Amino acid sequence: MTTVVELEIPAERLGLARTFDRVPTFEFEVGGLIGDSPPLVWITGADQSTVERALETDPSVEMIAALTDGTDGPNDCWLFRLEFGEEAKLFQRIIAENDGAILAAHGQEGWWSVKLLFHDHEAVSACHDLFDQYEFRVEVTRVAGTNDVANAETPLTETQYETIYKAYELGYFDVPREVTLEELASELGISHQALSERLRRSHAALVSAELSGGMTPVELDP
């Protein structure tokens, strides 16, 4: 049974602690974490220039780009592309190596709140043991089992999720890629054209959910 786990982790263990200290009203929401590419992050708090200065002096993160100019963001939110540090990358790697996925991540008042998806409870237990081993100081706030991926509040259908996960697992999103589109299609037992269209629709669903400010479950595969 698919298991959804919600955690809280102190920013001093996962990143952005110094930014929280400098900007008390700082809040963020991370876009989909797929592969090793720096994610898009919606940020609010104070004003954009203050946030940018705080990020530039925070050793746990590198600001790759500011994608809004201070006036374009909805409801005083600004879009950044951020490269998180080694602690956040280790956290993500532990989850991926235990057949998990990060559905959502946001932070406020010095804490990260993260929603994870696992295929079974054994993977949850193994992942939690590693969090303890590496002293992430996680606090589990919710554990729920579900047979319906839509109930995990992902915009992906189950087929799309399985495709994205297999692509990530085999290194399709790595730079350079560890597997070609044709090889991935063969692994999934579909044509490379069908795979290309499925990946494009999956990416569009993730981007649409982020830009709309919420994730809406999709009932049927496209």
CATH code: domain of residue 173: 1.10.10
pLDDT above 80: residue 222: no
Residues 67 and 16 in one domain: yes
The token pair at 95 is: 């989850």
Per the model's pLDDT, the better-predicted residue between 139 and 201 turns out to be 139
Q: How confident is the model at residue 218 (pLDDT cuts 50, 70, 90)?
A: very low
Residues 143 and 99 in one domain: yes
pLDDT above 80: residue 133: yes
76 belongs to a structural domain: yes
81 belongs to a structural domain: yes
pLDDT tens digits, 160-216: 778 888 888 888 888 788 899 999 999 999 888 888 888 887 777 776 665 655 444
Range of the domain at 206: 150-211
Q: How confident is the model at residue 38 (pLDDT cuts 50, 70, 90)?
A: confident
Per the model's pLDDT, the better-predicted residue between 168 and 59 turns out to be 59
Residues 77 and 27 in one domain: yes
* pLDDT at residue 70, rounded to an integer: 57
* pLDDT at residue 219, rounded to an integer: 41
* pLDDT at residue 26, rounded to an integer: 95
pLDDT above 60: residue 121: yes
CATH code: domain of residue 93: 3.30.70.260
Residues 68 and 16 in one domain: yes
pLDDT above 90: residue 22: yes
Residue-wise over 36-51: b if at least 16 C-beta within 10 A, else e? eebbbbbbbbeebeeb
Question: Rounded mean pLDDT of 110-139?
Answer: 92
> Mean pLDDT for the chain?
82
Question: Rounded mean pLDDT of 142-151?
Answer: 63
pLDDT tens digits, 91-103: 999 998 998 988 8
The token pair at 66 is: 């500011």
Q: How many domains does the structure of the chain reveal?
A: 3
216 belongs to a structural domain: no
pLDDT tens digits, 62-81: 999 988 875 544 457 888 99
For Cα atoms 51, 57, 60, give the angle at the middle one, nearest 5 degrees. Answer: 100
Out of 96, 128, 148, a domain closes at 148
220 belongs to a structural domain: no
Three-state helix/strand/coil letters over the chain: CEEEEEEEEEHHHHCCHHHHHHCCCCEEEECCCCCCCCCEEEEECCCHHHHHHHHHCCCCEEEEEECCCCCCCHHHCEEEEEEECHHHHHHHHHHHHCCEEEEEEEEECCEEEEEEEECCHHHHHHHHHHHHHCCCCCEEEEEEEECCHHHHCCCCCHHHHHHHHHHHHCCCCCCCCCCCHHHHHHHHCCCHHHHHHHHHHHHHHHHHHHHCCCCCCCCCCC
Residues 182 and 169 in one domain: yes
Residues 156 and 143 in one domain: no
Out of 70, 85, 100, a domain closes at 85
191 belongs to a structural domain: yes
* pLDDT at residue 216, rounded to an integer: 41
Residues 117 and 162 in one domain: no
Question: Rounded mean pLDDT of 42-66?
Answer: 92
* pLDDT at residue 119, rounded to an integer: 84
Out of 104, 120, 148, a domain closes at 148
